Amino acid sequence: DTCRNFHCKRGKVCHADNQGKPHCICQDPAACPPTKDYEHVCGTDNKTYDGTCQLFGTKCQLEGTKMGRQLHLDYMGSCKYIPPCTDYEVDQFPLRMRDWLKNILVQYYERDLNTSGILTEKQRNKVKKIYQNDKRLVAGDHPVELLLHDFEKNYHMYVYPVHWQFHQLDQHPVDRLLTHSELAPLRASLVPMEHCITRFFQECDGDRDKLIALKEWCHCFGIKE
């Protein structure tokens, strides 16, 4: 089977021609395996797809068109109504996201005190300093002024959580750049102000290349070079 070790990018499948030579062709969305409801995904066209196979197969078939270039994985799950993000909210977003990331890491650290698994030893050592800092702002819905004040006073506690989240997302491939699809896990109802994520990262993309570099990411969260 000439296709056995022949890899195609997402949205394409291997097909052997009459001479047995392998080629990558677009996945037929209708031929994708059936999926469960929880595997549904929402595209940036605000259309629900049965799964990533169907979404990327559709994107491949639209290759070379404006619709194809604009179609990405927006978030996991069926499409839902997302209210517009106001200017005031997009200004608040990095403050609330920084605070949320810091507290997520502290929660992981507390869980790992009893059972190891979520964080690596190196990550635990980094978070330990945040956990032990008695000046840490505890989790809660704090006013913007308090979040700003805490960031200025305890800046060092926010640097690692911002870097950590970038590297958690940078997976397909690991290249120090975040694509639209790699940002998709952030679009979950657990994330504060999820309706501002798309707009926030569009404004973060300083060079408009539709990729978020680590430098752009840190700049948007107020982390110095």
In three-state secondary structure terms, 163 is helix
- pLDDT tens profile 155-197: 999 999 999 999 999 988 899 999 888 888 887 777 888 889 9
Within this chain, do residues 29 and 139 fall inside the same structural domain, yes or no? no
pLDDT at 70: 87
Within this chain, do residues 93 and 199 fall inside the same structural domain, yes or no? yes
Within this chain, do residues 63 and 93 fall inside the same structural domain, yes or no? no
Mean pLDDT, range 125-151, rounded to an integer: 93
7: in domain: no
| Structure-token match 């078939």, residue found | 61
pLDDT at 222: 96
Domain count, the chain: 2
116: in domain: yes
Range of the domain at 47: 12-76
Within this chain, do residues 204 and 102 fall inside the same structural domain, yes or no? yes
Within this chain, do residues 108 and 196 fall inside the same structural domain, yes or no? yes
* Dihedral sign computed on CA atoms, order 6, 12, 18, 19: negative
82: in domain: no
Q: How far apart are CA 187 and CA 208, in angstroms?
A: 21
pLDDT over 90 at 40, yes or no: yes
Within this chain, do residues 182 and 144 fall inside the same structural domain, yes or no? yes
DSSP-derived letter for residue 180 is T
